[in-house]
Structure 1
Amino acid sequence: MASEFDLIDRYFKRPAPAGMLGVGDDCALFGVPAGMQVATSTDLLIEGRHFYPDVDPRALGHKALAVNVSDLAAMGAGPIGCLLGLALPAIEPAWVAAFAEGFHALAAASGCPLIGGDTTGSALGIAISVTVFGAVAPGQALRRDGARAGDQVWVSGTLGAADIAYRLLSGQMPADPGLLAATRGALEWPQPRYALGQALAGVASAAIDISDGLLQDLGHVLKASDAGAELQFADLPAAPSLAGIDPVRLRHALLGGGDVYELCFTAAPEQADTVRAAAARAGVAVTAIGRITATPGMVVLGPDGQPETDLPRGFDHFSTP
């Protein structure tokens, strides 16, 4: 049977980029470009809470890194490297090889190489912890506290598909193989918007990635900025795969659905052309969905122009089933 150290050497050890000391020593060593600040974030993925046992291990490897690189994107930071903590009930070579393949593929694409971490056994299922490091110029980070009254509210990509896939997989919606096939990729293969985040540094006034639902995550920006927002429900970019879905279910998916990992950001109206140009360079669609107001609180205007009531809550690890 392979040992912990065999597992590390075979599946996770890669040559470190120039100037770095990577997997294989007590600590990783890396430099930061002169005059830049370090940005760092960490996330946990727990079997049964964040993913199901039958998940494609390649997808899981991808997502484990993607949700962290998305945090760097939300700060406008360029990736430097990452650490991986992996707890496994047993070493299954085919599973570990596929997981590592998905992880390393995104690491290479995003410029966020694996430079260290830890592995251990687990009696309670798979647990994954990833910590990422990035760099951003002082004063250029896309913080949550910069939104100002009059700013436009934008989102990247589309919304809703990941939530519908989650509801289908968890049995909260009737089985629909076609709809699941059309939406599952959004849940299990999220695409972190690292190129867009870096392109928006110095352009957007505030940003956050949508991990727990649009309204909840935008609410964090509003709280930090001491501001409010008025959104136009008709302008929300619904995933095309959701065409024809029940309107009540769609409303919840767009406003409260998590696991999106798109960026929600604000920018002054005069920056609109610059925002669109930044998005075009990053190859990502962006949509203006509302505006920041001076009065705290969240207002969502329906098709009739009237404020909608009973707005959905986002995901909470200690209260959401």
Structure 2
Amino acid sequence: MTDRRPAAPTGEDHLIAELFRPIARHPGALGLIDDAACIAPPPGEDLVLTKDALVAGVHFFPEDPPDSIARKALRVNLSDLAAKGATPLAVLLAIAIPKDMPFEAMAAFARGLGADTAAHGVPLLGGDTVRTTGPLVVSITALGTLPRGEMVTRSGARPGQAIVVTGTIGDAALGLALRLEPKRPGFAALDPAQRAHLADRYLHPRPRLGLAGGLRAAAGGAMDVSDGLVGDLAKLLAVSGVSGDIDAARVPLSPAARAAIAAEPALLEVALTGGDDYEILATVADDKLSSLGVYATAAGIPVTVIGRTGEGAGLVVKDAGGASLTFARASFSHF
């Protein structure tokens, strides 16, 4: 039988049919042949919506594997849903494709997106594909659901709560620094496996979806760490109208990050302010810490207490000796 599929579709309809229709498995996607999708949230639940755009040369390297770019674009949005206590429902994709991007690269992107949407149980419902004379731009809108009225907001922190984070902090920022400045003293101390760990954490965020129920049950305020622990915590405290105090020595670090920082202490600032962690930052009342711990253990997600909230305003970060740390920049900013 002759394979009649075009080797390199050039029209938008052909491109969608070849690459994206096979991964739009939900009936509400209508086979990606309509102008919109149609989907209903479960009864008694709220919709949670979030959107992130990733630009080549800003959020990822143009030479990164296309499947990794797709996975990162999806996962940064799923991380936002997780931090709100939501379960993913579906996603929409808008992609601006450079004129010189080969069809095989686009196919690899679609394969990565398809594999990750399947793995996380979040169907593609539609979106838009366009050509651009600029860099590759990927924008995903993610929809999630949770029991009505139970979304965990940034503004829910109260004085006297524990400040907690999931996983480890700084790996992705150090992974980026490793690519930009591979000869820094801190990276010379790493073995190949440690280098690979940092590089992977930059390429492939790990959305903490398994902790969503625990956050709804226990968290006061929460957000994911995208722009840097110090800066993002300052944002959460400010919108909640509380202060915070954290101990840098209690911030969880991977063995790779710990080794790099031990060899070059200046890398601690990179880890605490660099961003791309996509871990969850939350405040939790003392009497709910054990409840959160039960969820965390069941999900296999480490949770670490790194400080406390208080009355007033501002954030203090202390070193192992109790002295306040200052940073040239608290977090990443586009502007």
TM-score between the two structures when normalised by the length of structure 1? 0.93
Are 2:27 and 1:12 equivalent residues in the alignment?
no
Are 2:173 and 1:163 equivalent residues in the alignment?
yes
Cα distance in 1 between the residues matched to 2:43 and 2:309: 35
Are 2:244 and 1:244 equivalent residues in the alignment?
no
Listed one character per residue, the Cα deviations across residues 264-316 of structure 1 (whole Å, up to 9, x for unaligned) are 01110111111111111222111111111112111112111232234641000
Aligned equivalent of 2:3: none
Paired amino acid for 1:224: V
Following TM superposition, the consecutive aligned residue runs of length 4 or more in structure 1 with deviations greater than 6 angstroms are none
8 A contact 1:150–1:291 mirrored in 2: yes
Secondary structure in structure 2 of the residue aligned to 1:201: helix
TM-score between the two structures when normalised by the length of structure 2? 0.89
Q: 2:209 aligns with which of 194, 213, 216?
A: 194
Q: 2:312 aligns with which of 295, 311, 316?
A: 295
For structure 2, the residue ranges without an aligned partner over 5 or more in a row are 1-7
The structural deviation recorded for 1:182 is: 3.1
Cα distance in 2 between the residues matched to 1:173 and 1:207: 36
Are 2:86 and 1:77 equivalent residues in the alignment?
yes
Aligned equivalent of 1:138: 148
Paired amino acid for 1:269: D
Aligned equivalent of 2:105: 95
172 and 220 in structure 1: CA distance in 2 versus 1, 3 angstrom threshold: farther
Aligned equivalent of 1:267: 284
Listed one character per residue, the Cα deviations across residues 87-143 of structure 1 (whole Å, up to 9, x for unaligned) are 111352321122112212221222221100111111112111110111122221110
- CA-based RMSD: 1.9
Aligned equivalent of 1:309: 326
255 and 159 in structure 1: CA distance in 2 versus 1, 3 angstrom threshold: same
Identify the range of structure 1 (83-92 vs 128-137) with the bigger mean alpha-carbon deviation: 83-92
310 and 55 in structure 1: CA distance in 2 versus 1, 3 angstrom threshold: closer
The structural deviation recorded for 1:199 is: 3.0
Identify the range of structure 1 (193-202 vs 79-88) with the bigger mean alpha-carbon deviation: 193-202
8 A contact 1:35–1:137 mirrored in 2: yes
Q: 1:61 aligns with which of 70, 73, 95?
A: 70
Aligned equivalent of 1:47: 56
Aligned equivalent of 2:5: none
Identify the range of structure 1 (251-260 vs 175-184) with the bigger mean alpha-carbon deviation: 175-184
Aligned equivalent of 1:185: 200
8 A contact 1:199–1:282 mirrored in 2: no
8 A contact 2:29–2:126 mirrored in 1: no
Listed one character per residue, the Cα deviations across residues 170-210 of structure 1 (whole Å, up to 9, x for unaligned) are 34864859454231100001111112123321321110000
- The number of residue pairs the alignment matches comes to 318
